[in-house]
Amino acid sequence: AQRVTQPEKLLSVFKGAPVELKCNYSYSGSPELFWYVQYSRQRLQLLLRHISRESIKGFTADLNKGETSFHLKKPFAQEEDSAMYYCALSGWTGGGNKLTFGTGTQLKVEL
Amino acid sequence: GAVVSQHPSRVICKSGTSVKIECRSLDFQATTMFWYRQFPKQSLMLMATSNEGSKATYEQGVEKDKFLINHASLTLSTLTVTSAHPEDSSFYICSTFLGTEAFFGQGTRLTVV
């Protein structure tokens, strides 16, 4: 079974402070990991994925297979980063490709 | 980029009635569509996977007779909440993959009164 765990429901930081949103996963195969973001009153959208190894809006995430983690980081938080962040794992099940979400972390950046 | 359009964005219905939610892939063909339910400040829970031309696959605990899914064409999947009750009030979201990237509809806020 595939599982994604985000231990923090809410993370509150001050503007300019570093941010780390934690994500751990469980999957028997070789996973594809994603971070999705949902801004207020907007649809869910892809922030970044581990295979591209890119930085989006200053965010980076490194897949650590040894620790089965895919934490999202940003060195200096901005007010516009306030949103709901979901870590997700894409894995193949008997019925096809399936995306499993973590419970999400609400990031609040305060001035 | 790829766009998934979901309609309606908001619906209020009376208890006992049925509501249909449509999800369209606008510029690509989606053979598979995923339907999620999201409770306030909680994660997306996969309800079912619809496959064009065949029966949907439901997740454990999801009543297939209550949440009817139809995927009659490569660009349209529908979710019908039958005999809706207040506990069915929720945010429903459809999604599909294009390659390995998932695209989401804007969601439908269902309120059953």
Q: Is the pLDDT of residue B58 over 70?
A: yes
Work out the mean pLDDT of chain A and round it to a whole number. 90
The confidence score (pLDDT) of residue B16 equals 96
Structure tokens at B41: 């400040």
Using an 8 Å CB-CB cutoff, list chain B residues near A106.
41
Which residues, at least 6 apart from A28, have a Cβ–Cβ distance to it below 8 Å? none
Which one, of A29, A10, A21, lies nearest residue A89 by Cα? Answer: A29
Contact B49 A98 (CB under 8 A): yes
Q: Is the pLDDT of residue B54 over 90?
A: no
The dihedral formed by the CA atoms of B9, A12, A82 and B104, expressed in degrees to the nearest 10: -40
Taking the CA of residue A67 and the nearest CA in chain B, the distance in Å comes to 23
Which one, of B13, B22, B1, lies nearest residue B110 by Cα? Answer: B13
Contact B100 A45 (CB under 8 A): no
| Cβ-nearest to B43 among A34, A51, A101 | A101
The confidence score (pLDDT) of residue A93 equals 66
Work out the mean pLDDT of chain B and round it to a whole number. 91
Contact B105 A95 (CB under 8 A): no
Q: Using the CB atoms, write b or e for A72-90: b if 16+ within 10 Å.
A: bebeebeeebbbbbbbbbb
Contact A100 B46 (CB under 8 A): yes
pLDDT digits (tens, 9 = 90+) for A58-110: 999 989 999 999 999 999 999 999 999 999 998 776 656 778 899 999 999 99
Q: Is the pLDDT of residue B1 over 60?
A: no
Q: Is the pLDDT of residue A9 over 60?
A: yes
The nearest alpha carbon in chain A to B38 belongs to: A103
